[in-house]
């Protein structure tokens, strides 16, 4: 899987991934909070979850999309899975900060390049009702293009903001599945 971590950190990360999937297998149920960076193909997992939601609601998958709600709660206080959708943990913001109180993108703190994003509720909806958002791209690592210049974007998440989309694009604000430490 893509990583910019040094070998020691990469091995520790690999062990955490193995532990995550081993716990999931032994529990025989989807975890309350899914650690999306554990997947080598996170988009396939998200598509499978959306397909499951479509089957459970007798909808066609092409009619559904994800609505994203960043939790105001700390991860340790989320004990139950949502009634609809999934909770995702393990995302990092680069080029932006997060205001937990107001659930908004903010400018990052000085000298803080990467910020942990709280748990995000991915909720299947027919049409997104959230406006005043930045469609934040998500990458595995801070490397955003391959050698040929093709984008390595996996997916995007709508994050609330009071500032215009252009502000965040100029800052290069994005989500990362893995920090580089």
Mean pLDDT across 54-64: 84
Q: For residue 50, what pLDDT is reported?
A: 94
- Cα 8–chain centre separation: 24
Residue with tokens 């340790």: 76
With bands split at pLDDT 50, 70 and 90, how would you rate the model's confidence at 52?
very high
Read off the pLDDT of residues 7-18 as tens digits, 9 standing for 90 and up: 999 999 999 999
Q: For residue 128, what pLDDT is reported?
A: 55
Query: Hey, is 155 helix, strand or coil?
Result: strand
CATH topology of domain 7-176: Hypothetical upf0131 protein ytfp (3.10.490)
163 near 97, Cβ under 8 Å?
Answer: no
Burial 31-40 (b: 16+ CB within 10 A, else e): bbbbbbbbbe
Query: pTM (2 decimals)?
Result: 0.83
Read off the pLDDT of residues 64-105 as tens digits, 9 standing for 90 and up: 889 999 999 999 999 999 999 999 999 999 999 999 999 999
> What residue segments make up the domains of the chain, in order of their start?
7-176
List of residues 6+ apart from 91 with CB closer than 8 A: 36, 37, 116, 117, 120, 138, 157, 175, 176, 177
Share of the chain above pLDDT 90, in %: 66
With bands split at pLDDT 50, 70 and 90, how would you rate the model's confidence at 60?
confident
Strand order in the sheet with 86-89: 33-35, 86-89, 120-125, 65-70
121 near 82, Cβ under 8 Å?
Answer: yes
Residue 161 CA neighbour count, 13 Å, CB half: 21
């Amino acid at each position: 899987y893509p990583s910019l971590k040094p070998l020691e950190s990469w091995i520790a990360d690999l062990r955490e991934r193995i532990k995550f999937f081993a716990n999931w297998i032994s529990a025989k149920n989807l975890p309350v909070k899914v650690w999306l960076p554990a997947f080598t193909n996170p988009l396939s997992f998200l598509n499978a979850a959306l397909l499951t939601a479509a089957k459970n609601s007798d909808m066609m998958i092409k009619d559904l999309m994800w609505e994203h709600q960043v939790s105001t709660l700390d991860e340790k206080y989320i004990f139950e899975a949502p009634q609809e959708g999934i909770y995702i943990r393990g995302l990092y913001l680069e080029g932006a900060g997060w205001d937990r109180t107001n659930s908004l993108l903010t400018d990052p703190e000085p000298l803080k390049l990467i910020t942990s994003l709280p748990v995000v509720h991915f909720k299947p909806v027919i049409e997104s009702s959230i406006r005043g958002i930045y469609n934040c791209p998500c990458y595995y690592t801070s490397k955003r293009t391959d050698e040929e210049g093709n984008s390595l974007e996996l997916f995007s998440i709508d994050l609330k903001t009071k500032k215009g989309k252009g502000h965040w694009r100029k800052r290069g604000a994005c989500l990362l599945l893995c920090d580089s430490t």
